[in-house]
Amino acid sequence: MEERWSTEHVLSLAPDASSQKAAGKLSSPAPWSATGTDGAALWGECRGSGRTPYRTAVELATPAYSCTCPSRKFPCKHALGLLLLWSGTPEAVPAGEPSDWASDWLAERRDRAERRATGATAAADPAAALRRAEKRHARVAAGAGELRLRLADRVRHGLADPSAAGPWEEVAARMVDAQAPGLATRVRELDAVTGPDLLEEYAMLHLLATAATRIDDLPAPLAATVRARVGYTTDAAEVLAGPTVRDRWYVLGSRTSPLDGAADERLTTRRLWLRGAKTGRAALLLAFGRPGRAPDLALPTGHLLEAELAFHPGARPLRAALGTRYDAPGQGPAAPPPGLTPAEAVAAYGDAVADDPWLDAWPAVLTGVVPVLTPDGWQLTDGRHTLPIHRGATPEAALWRLAAVSTGRPLTVFGEQGHHGFAPVTAWGADHRPIDLTTG
């Protein structure tokens, strides 16, 4: 049984809105010929304005794309169009053996993956690495100490006194110099915080800076959490070298930011939330794309993926690296995932915060909740308790989509529960199909 992706999922892979539009036009059989699929890959020839048609192939598991067109967009409209054709008009992409050019490309990809897997990691000089680590550690501790002084200074003068406050940008730059980019980001955000939240932000930043000056005294899991939050990065390969968890991972949802169409110079970040069917463990995968490009990794919401995950160490492990995959993502169960009541979700977030005090939110599936628009904004309720929906985390259009899917009746919603409220990511309505709530 072939498991096809939804139109929404295919369109979410597009680097921008104009690619989505262009792909929509290539979604009918007319321009395509020599199409086919073997379940793991799609291929086809697309007639353009030139004499020779473009050769387009998509490997579904990664996914990975190949096309002979000159477009610099990635994936190009032909790859997306082919995916849409396969998803909407299955008979137009019949099962078959890959044509020569498609099988060449697929074989080349396999070879490269194997080479990468077996390739020896560069022989490192352990002594030099240790020296570098110690040097960085000292710089981070010095930077964090300086940040502590700055925060205390502001509190001494009073947060209400604007004359005492220079821009935090300058302090953020010092944190970058101190090789603590995590601190720098948090500091930079202080300028945008107002009102009663400001003291909370100061306090939590102070707590983080204090922890950063004495990482070695902390229990190992908490030390790992502090390191990650201060901005030490861990290579995926390094994480994968440690213990892994094999499970059938259910894809709860994903969010890509900056949102489509934003002229932004930042990396495009995609968050993918998974839950192990056997272990019940929550996991978060992060994938990055260069500005204007969609991240490579995409897993269709509602699908199951048999794979190994390696969790980044921490007091509350959530982020994971994707290791060996045993199959392409397959259709998950027809029913929405089991979940919690609003009260249970609040309690679960509380537990998580007790482990990692800097957590803003923790993933949660809510069962039997109705979205309602009250004078205080959108809320999710099971009739006994309500959770406010986190303002600003969800586009307005998506909230109306959520209301439409519910028709005013209980449904299942996946999202992140935090102290700002609940940020919805995916909803399952009466027909049990997952609906994405992170796009406008």
Q: Which is nearer to another protein, 47 or 281 (CB)?
A: 47
| Rounded least distance, CB 92 to another protein, Å | 9
Q: Do residues 270 and 289 make contact, with C-beta atoms less than 8 angstroms apart?
A: yes
The span from the CA of 206 to the CA of 147, in Å, is: 8
Q: How far is the CB of 130 from another protein (least distance, A)?
A: 33
291-320 binders of another protein (CB under 8 A): none
Residue 199 CB, shortest distance to another protein, in Å, is: 5
Q: 65 or 428, CB closer to another protein? A: 428
Angle between helices 220-230 and 181-190 (to 10 degrees): 60
Q: Which of residues 12-31 bind another protein (CB under 8 A)?
A: 20-22, 24-31
Comparing CB distances to another protein, the nearer of 46 and 310 is 46
Q: Rule CB under 8 A: choose which of 8, 16, 146, 306 binds another protein.
A: 8
Q: Give the residue with the Cβ less far from another protein, 268 or 379.
A: 379
Beta strand residue intervals within 293-376, DSSP E: 303-311, 319-325, 330-331, 361-374
- The nearest distance, CB 40 to another protein, in angstroms, is 22
Considering only residues 137 through 196, tell me which ones interact with another protein, judged by CB under 8 A: 148, 151-153, 155-161, 196
What residue type is assigned to position 267 of the chain? L
Closest CA to 87 of 21, 24, 22, 45: 24
Looking at residues 88 to 107 of the shown chain, list those that interact with another protein (rule: CB under 8 A): 88-89
Q: Which is nearer to another protein, 288 or 400 (CB)?
A: 400
Using the rule CB under 8 A, is 354 a contact of another protein? yes
Q: With CB under 8 A, what is the number of residues at the site for another protein? A: 81
Which of 276, 273, 293, 303 has its CA nearest to residue 285? 273
Q: At its nearest, how many Å lie between another protein and the CB of residue 124?
A: 38
What is the rounded CA–CA span in Å between residue 47 and residue 56?
Answer: 11
Q: Helices 197-213 and 220-230, interaxial angle, to 10°?
A: 120
Site for another protein in 185-244 (CB under 8 A): 196, 199-200, 202-204, 206-207, 210
What is the footprint of another protein within residues 30-49 (CB under 8 A)? 30-31, 47-49
Q: Which residues contact 91 (CB under 8 A, 6 or more apart)?
A: none
d(CA 102, CA 114): 19
**Smallest distance from another protein to CB 397, Å:** 6
DSSP secondary structure letters along 155-197: HHH-TT-GGG---HHHHHHHHHHTT-HHHHHHHHHHTT--TTH
What secondary structure does DSSP assign to 215-227, as a single string? Answer: GGGS-HHHHHHHH
> In the stretch 364-403, what mask flags binding to another protein with x, by CB under 8 A?
------x-xxxx---x-xxxxxxxx--------x--xx-x
Which of these segments, 123-131, 269-277, 281-289, 430-438, binds another protein (CB under 8 A)? 430-438
CB of 355 to another protein, least distance (A): 9
Task: Name which of 142 and 353 has its Cβ closer to another protein.
Answer: 353
DSSP string, 322-342: EEEE-S--EE--SSPPP-B-H
Residue 57: enclosing H or E segment and its boundaries?
strand 54-59
Residues 320-349 that bind another protein (CB under 8 A): 342-343, 346, 349
Nearer to another protein, 102 or 435 (CB): 435
Choosing from 6, 62, 103, 213, the residue that interacts with another protein (CB under 8 A) is 6
Specify the DSSP element, H or E, that contains 346: helix 342-355
In the bound complex, what is the minimum distance in angstroms from residue 327's beta carbon to another protein?
Answer: 24
SS3 category, 30: coil
